[in-house]
A and B are shown apart, each in its own frame.
Chain A
Amino acid sequence: MSDVKKFLYVNRKPPHGTIYALESLEVVLIGAAFEQDVALAFLDDGVFQLVKGWNTEELGSKNFQPAYTALGDYDIQKVYVEKESLEERGLSEDDLLEMTYEDEDDDWAEKSSIRIVSREEMAQIMRDSDVILSF
């Protein structure tokens, strides 16, 4: 299919203080129906969206973190997380949610969607995308 475009959703906001993170997630879920080549990027405070262990009970809002782990079902296989953004915040890959997809070309083996990339690689990923949606 020649009309498949490379979509990149760029996430730069923490999860709870504003509506951006939830809106981005909703757009990703809706957009998945269009069967484009979709990738997610998490940088700056956006990396906080993937820090595991949310407990929103006391806050009294819905915990939408489990929805990130459903993205594999929606054929999202590329989740780029910027290394420098993690390090500045004292975080590493071990602090992040497990996000997986099943690889059709490899007997449906479960693989991690998360790819830690440098700032330089992230810039290249942005340059290589056809459409960028920023949240």
Chain B
Amino acid sequence: MGMLHTVNKSPYSCNTLQSCLSHASEGDVVLLIEDGVYAALKGGAAAEMLSSAQGVRICALSADVKARGLDGRLIDGVEVVDYGGFVDLVEQTDKTQAWL
């Protein structure tokens, strides 16, 4: 059923996302939370990293997206999920790895 990866750091100050993506396998889900959501900002250098990730589902946590003024400004292909959606992802996957 794949693994859920959470990333909570900005891709512009840490290589957390980069490391996560290079360890994620097909069928995995990467959920961007806290400052991790900045990776999905349209036009940003880090967004390319996400769009080139093959076979990995990319999600971003709604509360964190809105708090940062990024609502409606994310690249296509990123699913915005609320806290309930976060719980669903945990349920749907075998295990969770929190990339810190």
Contact = CB atoms under 8 A, between A and B. Distances in A.
Interface in A40-72: 44-45, 48, 51-61, 63
A88 B68 contact: no
B63 A59 contact: yes
Interface of A: 13-17, 44-45, 48, 51-61, 63, 88-91
Interface of B: 8-10, 12-13, 34-35, 38, 41-45, 47, 62-64, 66-71, 82
A89 B66 contact: no
Chain A interface helix/strand/loop/mixed: loop
B44 A90 contact: yes
Contact of A59 (B9, B35, B42, B67): B67
Given A15-B68, A55-B66, A59-B64, A45 B35 contact: yes
B10 A56 contact: no
Nearest to B64: A59
